Structure 1
Amino acid sequence: MNSLRPRVFSGVQPTGNLHLGNYLGAVSRFVPLQESFECIFCVVDMHAITVWQDPHELAHNTREVTAAFIAAGIDAKRHIVFNQSQVSAHAELAWVFNCVARLGWLNRMTQFKEKAGKDRENASVGLYAYPSLMAADILAYRATHVPVGEDQKQHLELARDIAQKFNNDFAETIAEAGYNDGFFPLTEPLIAGPATRVMSLRDGTKKMSKSDPSDLSRINLTDDADTIAKKIRKAKTDPEPLPSEAKGLESRPEASNLVGIYAALTDKPIADVLTEFGGAQFSGFKQALIDVAVEKLSPITGEMKRLMDDQSHIDTILAEGAQRARQIAAPIFAEVRKIVGFVG
């Protein structure tokens, strides 16, 4: 009963326009995983409401993330694409994990401190307990792997701590149920290569974000070719030419960011990009980056638009995905109920 098939879980929040950072840091990385793993791709709408969302925008954004998944190459027939709120096991298991996790663990979560800011007393309980729900997202499917960026590594470590404590706290009933090596796996991270952390086009020290007031700071997946070109041309740079070696990018955050984006879009090592463009001025490099970005992103933008024009088709994908997700999660949570001692 202990053998677990390799299974990937990953989620994306539906909070505003998806941008290049979301694509390079997450969505594009999902596509090759489909060849090696059983994959579950989730639009995490329950996480989104840890801060207030306009209900109409939340519904729109949920469909838009789904469209981006499909447009980028995720196969919803072979794998599972759904939105979190349609599968009750996420919320039910999150409550169990709230009772397993310790306050001290949650107090150490840096993302809560960053998002809540100075006025922490006014932050929602959901924002504080977010990591317990994230652990439930993963472990409701006993996922063995999660693709994570640097900013989510701490949450995955907490999910592993919760899994380990659950396995220890209920070791006797877990063994009675026939699980000799613990019930929940200690999920492993899948850490991607270059440009997993895409920075703002206006400030190379800040992460590219949909909450940045300047639309010039990011390339949205809904931007047309002219808009992409304009934003890259206006991207902040420094006066020096591009270096020929990676060491030359140190303390040059804007240059490092643009080179990293080019490397990720062309699937080349940064060293190869610098061999090609070392000594060049930014004007020439930016034109090359525009050409690559438009070539790569325009088909995705077009397919997203086509999908968004057929809302019922997206809703069908989500409903069918949720049904398949429930078929995996329901028996796992039924086992949790027995292990914990819930009757019925």
Structure 2
Amino acid sequence: MTETAFAPRVFSGIKPSGGLTLGNYLGAIKRFVESQNAGTESMFCVVDMHAITVWQDPVELRRATREVAAGYIASGIDPERAILFNQSQVSQHAELGWIFNCVARLGWMNRMTQFKEKAGKNAEKQSLGLYAYPSLMAADILLYHATHVPVGEDQKQHVELTRDIAAKFNHDYGVDFFPLTSPVIDGPATRVMNLRDGTKKMSKSGESDMERINMTDDADTIAKKFKKARTDPAPLPETLEALKDRPEARNLVDIYAALSDTTAETVIAEHGGAGWGQFKPALADLAVERLAPIATEMRRLMDEPAEIDRILGRGAERAREIAAPILSRTYEIVGLIRS
């Protein structure tokens, strides 16, 4: 089996369910923009087929899909420089997903921690789609021979499964057709935590709106949430190591670092010894400066749904141009007749 040189290509996606949060922005979208601006061929998807692994109201799903697209664009994704589309408009995702269902092993799927977390004690009542979610995610990535996937820490296991599926497919058919994709997990705040409980991930579905920053929050709301974020009594320490057992404090430091394009070490060097009455207003001001313009632009875009749909449709056309020959070659390798 000969080695194949795969051209660098980035792919990543966000599920349209529950609204975008600061976690989506810092853990994903901000890094998508950096990838695009670095000149790497980039494809960014609204993964609406993943959303329906649990029931979605159809009207809300369409709205949420447009909102994710608006979030991409408002944050700096240029639909002319990158390919921006929603997954369901490119049928090759589902087709390759089935082939990968036949490559992935049950043992691999049973080790996926995210299914266990989402299903809880009601695993028997969950959809088959939720269980097979990681196999479709592998198809999302490998359909474009993507070499790099910017993801949050919680998605690393899924990209590792994608590598396993690619390696098994290549081995089983004696080819070197799919790349062994690398997850890109770097920088501060790759996993943004809850503003009320620093041991839990910031979630779209959390009980209180005060525990998260929504991408559509206005300036006053952003400032209020950061100023009321839970902290401990001690001031910021002089070293990063001293934050080890202070999850709420570490979370706010990481958020500050990510919003200011610096490191947590630099934040501690600048603010070590400061009390929360000083640091939280500074963080709130920084967050408003960075996020409020994005929220304003998202609201403007959401008032023009036909324009968002046009952008997604054009992106889907461009995506299909890449996907179609890769899927066709996959069918040929597997032995499926294409008359």
TM-score (norm 1): 0.96
Residues 1:342 and 2:339 are matched in the alignment: no
Structure 1 contact 232–290 (Cα < 8 Å) conserved: yes
Shift of 1:101: 0.6
Q: Distance in 2 between matches of 1:339 and 1:95?
A: 15
Q: Who is 2:53 aligned against?
A: 50
Residue 121 of structure 2 aligns to a residue whose secondary structure is coil
Structure 2 residue ranges without an equivalent (≥5): none
| Equivalent residue in structure 2 for 1:216, among 179, 200, 210 | 210
Q: Distance in 2 between matches of 1:29 and 1:271?
A: 20
**Counterpart AA for 2:170:** N
**Counterpart AA for 1:283:** G
Q: Distance in 2 between matches of 1:278 and 1:183?
A: 51
- 1:180-259, aligned counterparts within 5 Å? 182-259=176-253
Q: Distance in 1 between matches of 2:209 and 2:246?
A: 22
Q: How many pairs are equivalent?
A: 335
Residue 119 of structure 1 aligns to a residue whose secondary structure is helix
Q: Distance in 2 between matches of 1:248 and 1:160?
A: 36
Q: Distance in 1 between matches of 2:39 and 2:239?
A: 33
Residue 42 of structure 2 aligns to a residue whose secondary structure is strand
Q: Who is 1:179 aligned against?
A: none
Shift of 1:228: 0.7
Shift of 1:236: 0.3
Q: Who is 1:90 aligned against?
A: 93
**Counterpart AA for 1:158:** L
Shift of 1:3: 3.4
Q: Who is 1:177 aligned against?
A: none
- 1:1-344, aligned counterparts within 5 Å? 2-34=4-36, 35-171=38-174, 174=175, 182-344=176-338
Q: Who is 1:178 aligned against?
A: none
Q: Distance in 2 between matches of 1:134 and 1:278?
A: 41
Residue 204 of structure 1 aligns to a residue whose secondary structure is coil
Shift of 1:2: 3.4
Q: Distance in 2 between matches of 1:153 and 1:36?
A: 24
Structure 1 contact 50–127 (Cα < 8 Å) conserved: yes
Q: Distance in 2 between matches of 1:311 and 1:66?
A: 10
Structure 1 contact 9–40 (Cα < 8 Å) conserved: yes
Structure 1 contact 25–196 (Cα < 8 Å) conserved: yes
Q: Distance in 2 between matches of 1:94 and 1:314?
A: 26
Q: Distance in 2 between matches of 1:263 and 1:90?
A: 36
State, as a whole percentage, how many aligned pairs show the same letter. Answer: 67
Q: Distance in 1 between matches of 2:148 and 2:217?
A: 32
Residue 74 of structure 1 aligns to a residue whose secondary structure is coil
**Counterpart AA for 1:87:** V
Shift of 1:31: 0.7
Shift of 1:36: 3.4
Structure 1 contact 29–192 (Cα < 8 Å) conserved: no
Shift of 1:250: 1.1
Residue 28 of structure 1 aligns to a residue whose secondary structure is helix
Structure 1 contact 19–220 (Cα < 8 Å) conserved: yes
Residue 144 of structure 2 aligns to a residue whose secondary structure is coil
TM-score (norm 2): 0.97
Q: Distance in 2 between matches of 1:230 and 1:190?
A: 32
Shift of 1:222: 0.5
CA deviation string 1:29-85 (max 9, x = no partner): 111101231000000000001111111111000000000000000110011000000
CA deviation string 1:106-126 (max 9, x = no partner): 011111100100111001100
Structure 1 contact 148–192 (Cα < 8 Å) conserved: no
